[in-house]
Amino acid sequence: MATGAKLIADIKEKSFGEEALFDGLRFEVPAGQVVALIGPSGVGKSTLLRMIGGIDPDYEGDILIDDLVPADAEVPGFVFQDPRLLPWETALGNLLAVKPDLADDEGRQLLVNVGLDAAENLRPGELSGGMQRRVALARALAVSSRLLLLDEPFVSIDRKLARELQALVASVVDRLGLTVLLVTHDPYDAAVLADRVITLRGRPVRVVDDMALDTPRAARNADHVAAIVSELDRGMRE
């Protein structure tokens, strides 16, 4: 089993214009832990994920992935809110577009692993919304990173599909032992997937709660999840 990456985020300052978005925000994610960052829409969760992913380097402070800054660390697997597939490429082509040295067989296997057995030659326009999201997840796994960054991956899809994808992510993460940072505004996503939930709120953003979920993911039943959701809801409101 692969071991996930260790992540340290210590943001001294990050501003948009005159407004300070982050002004002293720190948290650590041990290797192999699945951490959900939850908070209301617009609080800055996605911005934080983009900073960790190396998309937004405009901040003061340190983000270290296995003691390396994002630009020097290994390429993370990144799943955006929208599938963000290249419409002119096939499902397999979308994997190869970000990982050109990926062997075709490996790519096919990744697609099979996310439940796309016969979709390698289909283009995004020929795939359902759920299948597109599966391709986006396979693409994130294609780079063989030990860090998986998920930015609201279950937003704007129906509940049934969201549950299927959550189960898929959980099985992949458990199998590969990845470190995962999941950004979501929905406590349910966190309750189903996370080992630990960090609640963000305010301006500048601060950590208002940091809760470890003791019951292992696989052992959580509907009652466990409902209880966690209730507690997270309360934490977000307080």
Partner 1 sequence: MAGSRTPKRQGKIGLEWFSILLLLALWQVISMLVQHRLFPSPIVVFIEVYDLAREGLLFPDLAKTLSRAAAAFVVAMVAGIVIGSVLGRFRSLDGLFGNWVLIGLNIPAIVVAITFYIWFGLTEFALIIAVVVNKAPLVSVAMREGVRDLDYGLSELAHVYRVSFWQRVQKFIVPQLMPYVLTAARTGLSLIWKIVLVFEVLGSDGGVGFRIGLFFQHFDMKGILAYTVAFMAVVILFEYGVLRRLEHRVLGWRPAQS
Chain positions 123 to 182 lying near partner 1, rule: CB under 8 A, are: 123, 125, 143
Contact (Cβ atoms closer than 8 angstroms) between residue 138 and residue 111: yes
Q: Comparing C-alpha atoms, which of 190, 170, 22 is closest to residue 199?
A: 190
Candidates 27, 80, 154, 188; binder of partner 1 (CB under 8 A) is 80
Kind of pairing between the strands at 34-38 and 196-201: parallel
- The nearer residue to partner 1, 152 or 195, going by C-beta atoms, is 152
Using DSSP's 3-state secondary structure scheme, residue 66 falls into coil
Using DSSP's 3-state secondary structure scheme, residue 182 falls into strand
CB of 122 to partner 1, least distance (A): 10
The residue count for binding partner 1 (CB under 8 A) is 21
The yes or no reply on residue 98 touching partner 1 (CB under 8 A) is: yes
DSSP H helices, the chain, are: 45-52, 91-98, 104-113, 129-142, 159-176, 187-193, 222-237
Candidates 3, 24, 60, 84; binder of partner 1 (CB under 8 A) is 84
**Pattern of binders to partner 1 over 14-53, x per CB under 8 A?**
------------------------------------x--x
**Segment contacting partner 1 (CB under 8 A): 75-83, 180-188, 201-209, 227-235?**
75-83
Candidates 68, 69, 86, 227; binder of partner 1 (CB under 8 A) is 86
Q: Comparing C-alpha atoms, which of 13, 93, 55, 39 is closest to residue 233?
A: 39
DSSP H helices, 1-158, are: 45-52, 91-98, 104-113, 129-142
Binding site for partner 1 (CB under 8 A): 50, 53-55, 75-76, 78, 80, 82, 84, 86-89, 97-100, 123, 125, 143
